[in-house]
Amino acid sequence: MEALNINTNAEIVTNYNLDEEQEKKEIVRHYRALLRALREKLKKGDKELLRTAFEMAADAHKTMRRKSGEPYVLHPLAVAMICVEEIGLGVRSTICALLHDTVEDTNIALDDIKSEFGNEIAKIVDGLTKISTVMDTNSSQQAENFKKILLTLTDDPRVILIKLADRLHNMRTLDAMKQEKQLKIASETIWVYAPLAHRMGLYNVKTELEDLSMKYMEPAIYKEIAKKLAETKRERTKYINEFIRPLKEKLTAAEFDFEIQGRPKSIHSIWNKIKKKEVSFEEVYDLFAIRVILNADLDKEKEDCWKVYSMITDEYSPSPERLRDWLSNPKSNGYEALHTTVMGPQGKWVEVQIRTKRMNEIAEKGLAAHFKYKEGSQNEDRFDKWFVQIREALGNQQDEGIDFLQDFKTSFLAEEIYVYTPKGEVKMLPINSSALDFAFYIHTAIGSKCIGAKVNHKLVPISHKLRSGDQIEIITSNKQKPSEDWLSSVVTAKAKNSIKDALREEKKIIAEEGKYSLQRKLEGIGALYNTYNIDQVMFYYKLSSHLDLLFKIATKTIDLKELKLFQVIGDKIEAPKPVNLSPEINLENPALKAASKKDSELIIFGESSDKIKYTLGKCCNPIPGDDVFGFVSTGKGLIIHRNNCPNATQLLANYGHRVVKTKWAKNKEISFLTGLSIIGLDDVGVVNKITNIISGELKINIAALTIESTEGLFKGTIKVYVHDKDELEELVTRIKSLNGIQQVMRFDTETV
């Protein structure tokens, strides 16, 4: 384009300063790299289309720069490269990636793209434009608008794949953002995008998104694990080589065409293991996994994988509980492999994954590879079935956006189990599904009449949690009907929507009583029973629908005594000032308004703590020194949470507009209650040694102390008053230094 004067044949005019010249060379270098990556996929005319798309993007973004200062066009180029190299998409998706921000951020209109590239590409760019206003906005509509993402997903999955590439590049370049923006974007990523990447079969993308989110949400822990992984790399490589040497010999002797890789587990998954198993980094046994990739004929894939499994378990003893057979029952995102954990040299457990080249490509490129191998595959309708289920869920959905997003995560983004019908048919359900979920999965009518089930021929209640391999028979009764408490027993969107539909019908019948009561009351004050007047009453009681109002009147939750306070003007009523049933923090408060300006601190604990009232979150018990944020809560004012609070991800991702920047001020006069759990060898005088450190050496006040001893081990919980995080960390270090102490951990989720 003339305005930028980018010549893709490198005949660059030299009438610019050196920086501009270097930038243009950099842009052209990225474009050429993209063409090289696409070389095998280029058909006649594709190169010209790509050139047009690139020049259109370069010209549209010519005056724009990213937060890092680099030319903006490098971002769509990077997104396009991720689409090609890491997700396996083709030329059309690359064009869409190059143009994905143009309609949203520049003067280019959708019609311009349609006339240049046709309907298909315009439709995908339109989908990407809609999504860009969903998860990246500071609006309370985030989760509600998330449905747009899902609609585009079922319409053309490439929209989501390109959006995942966009998010991955944004996460890779997040350093240039301010901390509060980093927290918000990282939270959205871990909350929605990483699970979505996992469900689309993009394991590498999912893993990197999780690690990068952790880098910004828990930087200290991230750096510590990364450092320890780097320090143990040499030792790990030596062990991997020792482990695979005999396996290579066996597989070579059996004339298999194969490769063996050893790869470290992701930082995020290691941290999850540390938390789940309550162990130290050194005690996490599977810091890495061995992957065997076979070059096998399609009709011999399963047979060859099991042969290799047999050879590996001849060499090393397997753990029977750790065998995962995704050859016979692939995951619904297309993942196929055989996983086992074996006892390696030096008494170390090692995870081994066995798959073919085709399976490996599907594992790394997910949906894009799935469509490549779709013809003749037994799994050809797995994604299609999933899309149909999402469409059904969207069609029936009547919840608030946040509730819907939570339901979607548990129903469509969770790990899965496979179960059997009485006739032996395999059904895939999300993990934590109950017998009632299974009943609704089979048919809505069966779910609505379910009174119990037989799991593996044993009678169980409808809330019974299912496990992979279970065979389920549903027991029904024509007298049964859904009740409110059923909602706590199900996780699937289909079951929840079906139960809510049934309850809504029941509610309508009960609400008829409320209708007559309201009609009588309105006529009693000389007003008509019409839509306008019902709206006035509904708004007064802060309800969202006529049905809710009439139901609450019928069930005597509302007795309408305040109706006499309404003013009747002609046949209309005018409500008095509404009753404040659920008071919210006043966002017009001058102190709050001034404090929430850009770059300002909302609250500085200590001197100005009297200006804005706050409470400390019971879910994470923050203390000075913790990285924290303030959350404006309905009815409870400002609540302070730690950045790594169990609820932080959901709050930051879904309610970004309610999150305010916070900071601790130095104040050694105030003490904060926190707690530690301690595990160690039961030794004489151990309690005395611990209390001596706390009260004697560090002069810290103890609020409570409990010790339980069983079979030579003790578990203790101590609640103490500390001034800040430094004091707590000093206490942890001192207790850990005692002989026989195995673990000291801060309470995270318990109420101290």
506-549 residue pLDDT tens: 888 888 888 888 888 888 888 888 888 888 888 888 887 888 88
Has residue 587 got a pLDDT over 50?
no
Beta-carbon neighbour count of residue 618 at 10 Å? 11
Whole-number pLDDT of residue 102: 86
Q: What is the DSSP letter of 65?
A: B
443-468 residue pLDDT tens: 999 999 999 999 999 999 999 999 98
627-674 residue pLDDT tens: 888 888 766 778 888 888 888 887 887 777 777 777 776 666 677 888
Residue 554: enclosing H or E segment and its boundaries?
Answer: helix 546-554
Q: What is the mean pLDDT of the chain?
A: 80
Task: Find, among 146, 140, 82, the residue nearest to 412 by Cα.
Answer: 146
From 20, 21, 26, 105, active-site residue: 105
Secondary structure class of 418 (helix, strand, coil): strand
CA dihedral 306, 307, 309, 312 (to 10 degrees): 180
Whole-number pLDDT of residue 428: 83
For β-strands 258-264 and 458-460, DSSP reports them as unpaired
Region of poorest pLDDT, from 291-295, 433-437, 531-535, 682-686: 682-686
Report, in angstroms and rounded to the nearest whole number, the Rg of the chain calculated over CA atoms. 30
Note if 104 is an active site residue. Answer: yes
Give the chain's end-to-end CA distance (angstroms, integer).
64
Whole-number pLDDT of residue 611: 54
- The residues facing 641 across adjacent strands are 629
Q: Cα 617 vs. chain centroid, distance in angstroms?
A: 22
Has residue 585 got a pLDDT over 60?
no
From 70, 104, 364, 548, active-site residue: 104
Whole-number pLDDT of residue 549: 87
Contact 702, 695 (CB under 8 A): yes
Contact 126, 383 (CB under 8 A): no
Determine the Cα–Cα distance for residues 349 and 351; give it in Å rounded to an integer. Answer: 7
Q: Over 307-318, what HEC string results?
A: HHHHHHHHHCEE
Beta-carbon neighbour count of residue 364 at 10 Å? 17
Whole-number pLDDT of residue 626: 83
Has residue 590 got a pLDDT over 50?
no
Determine the Cα–Cα distance for residues 342 and 318; give it in Å rounded to an integer. Answer: 4
Residue 445: which residues within 8 A CB-CB, separation 6 or more?
Answer: none
Contact 349, 343 (CB under 8 A): yes
Task: Find, among 739, 672, 678, 665, the residue nearest to 700 by Cα.
Answer: 672
Higher pLDDT, 555 or 259: 259
pLDDT band at 395 (very low <50, low <70, confident <90, very high): low
Average pLDDT, stretch 379-407? 60
Average pLDDT, stretch 265-280? 82
Task: Find, among 36, 83, 37, 31, the residue nearest to 56 by Cα.
Answer: 31
Task: Find, among 180, 143, 172, the residue nearest to 650 by Cα.
Answer: 143
Whole-number pLDDT of residue 74: 92
CATH homologous superfamily of 18-217 = Hypothetical protein af1432 (1.10.3210.10)
Determine the Cα–Cα distance for residues 676 and 691; give it in Å rounded to an integer. Answer: 13
Determine the Cα–Cα distance for residues 144 and 484; give it in Å rounded to an integer. Answer: 24
Higher pLDDT, 680 or 472: 472
For CA atoms 392, 394, 398, 404, the dihedral sign is positive
Domain ranges for the chain, please list them.
18-217, 226-372, 383-500, 501-574, 590-663, 672-746
Region of poorest pLDDT, from 77-81, 83-87, 541-545, 548-552: 541-545
Average pLDDT, stretch 746-750? 63
Determine the Cα–Cα distance for residues 534 and 233; give it in Å rounded to an integer. Answer: 69
Whole-number pLDDT of residue 625: 82
| Alpha helices per DSSP H over 39-118 | 46-60, 74-85, 91-99, 102-105, 110-117
Phi, psi (deg, nearest 5) at residue 373: -100, 10
Region of poorest pLDDT, from 29-33, 235-239, 403-407, 644-648: 403-407
Residue in the structure block whose two tokens are 């028979």: 473
* CA neighbours closer than 13 Å in the CB half-sphere of residue 531: 0
Residue 213: enclosing H or E segment and its boundaries?
Answer: helix 203-217
Whole-number pLDDT of residue 600: 35
Average pLDDT, stretch 366-390? 60
Whole-number pLDDT of residue 538: 86
Contact 541, 561 (CB under 8 A): no
Whole-number pLDDT of residue 146: 61
Determine the Cα–Cα distance for residues 242 and 262; give it in Å rounded to an integer. Answer: 11
Phi, psi (deg, nearest 5) at residue 488: -80, -5
Instruction: Give how far Cα 467 sits from Cα of 338, 438, 471, 677, Å.
Output: 19, 12, 9, 32
Determine the Cα–Cα distance for residues 32 and 28; give it in Å rounded to an integer. Answer: 6
Determine the Cα–Cα distance for residues 521 and 510; give it in Å rounded to an integer. Answer: 18
Average pLDDT, stretch 172-185? 86
CATH homologous superfamily of 672-746 = ACT domain (3.30.70.260)
The CATH architecture to which 383-500 belongs is: Roll (3.10)
Determine the Cα–Cα distance for residues 216 and 107; give it in Å rounded to an integer. Answer: 34
Has residue 246 got a pLDDT over 70?
yes
Query: What angle, rounded to 10 degrees, do the helices at 179-188 and 158-172 form?
Result: 150
Higher pLDDT, 313 or 430: 313
One fold for 18-217 and 383-500: no
The CATH architecture to which 226-372 belongs is: 2-Layer Sandwich (3.30)
Has residue 602 got a pLDDT over 50?
no
Higher pLDDT, 139 or 261: 261
pLDDT band at 9 (very low <50, low <70, confident <90, very high): very low
Instruction: Give how far Cα 504 sits from Cα of 64, 131, 437, 490, 535, Å.
Output: 51, 31, 19, 17, 20
Beta-carbon neighbour count of residue 107 at 10 Å? 9
Region of poorest pLDDT, from 116-130, 573-587, 660-674, 727-741: 573-587
Task: Find, among 87, 93, 86, 88, the residue nearest to 76 by Cα.
Answer: 93
Determine the Cα–Cα distance for residues 444 and 474; give it in Å rounded to an integer. Answer: 12
Note if 748 is an active site residue. Answer: no
Phi, psi (deg, nearest 5) at residue 426: -85, 135
Determine the Cα–Cα distance for residues 678 and 745; give it in Å rounded to an integer. Answer: 7
Has residue 14 got a pLDDT over 50?
no
